[in-house]
């Protein structure tokens, strides 16, 4: 019978190889970036705000908003805070650990 490994064991084993660890970290950053851009677009659409309207709110062009949402250009923390604030929300950032989470004042 073949032995099985849980995800944690596989992850820890992969991290022993620096090249694999680097590729894992790069993939993770890309995934987080994509999730953020898609979530931003979904949020804007759910609130009934067009790209042009959001652009005017944050002092950017509609093209820049489109590029942010598609992931073509990066989204800084300051710009993300501005977007969320202009859409009527408040941005919270938390460091999440196995035994709890800590809100970070950003």
What sign does the CA torsion over 96, 97, 101, 104 have?
negative
pLDDT band at 92 (very low <50, low <70, confident <90, very high): confident
pLDDT digits (tens, 9 = 90+) for 59-85: 999 999 999 888 788 888 888 889 989
The runs of H, that is alpha helices, within the chain are 7-15, 18-46, 51-58, 62-70, 77-86
Can you give the pLDDT at residue 28?
A: 77
Can you give the pLDDT at residue 58?
A: 93
Domains recognised in the chain with CATH numbers: 7-104 (1.10.260.40)
Task: Indicate the angle between helix axes 18-46 and 7-15, nearest 10 degrees.
Answer: 120
Can you give the pLDDT at residue 80?
A: 86
Can you give the pLDDT at residue 64?
A: 94
Only one residue has tokens 């851009």, namely: 37
Can you give the pLDDT at residue 101?
A: 86
| Residue 97 bridge partners (DSSP) | 100
Percent of the residues in the chain that have a pLDDT greater than 70, as a whole number: 90
């Amino acid at each position: 019978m073949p032995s099985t490994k849980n995800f944690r064991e596989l992850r820890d084993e992969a991290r022993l190889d620096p090249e694999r660890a680097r590729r894992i970290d790069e993939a993770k950053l890309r995934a987080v970036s994509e999730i953020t851009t898609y979530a931003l677009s979904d949020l804007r659409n759910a609130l009934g705000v067009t790209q042009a309207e959001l652009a005017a709110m944050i002092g950017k062009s509609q093209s820049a908003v489109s590029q942010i949402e598609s992931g073509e250009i990066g989204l800084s923390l300051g710009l993300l805070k501005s977007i969320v604030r202009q859409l009527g929300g408040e941005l919270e950032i938390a460091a999440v650990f196995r035994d709890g989470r800590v809100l970070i004042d950003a």
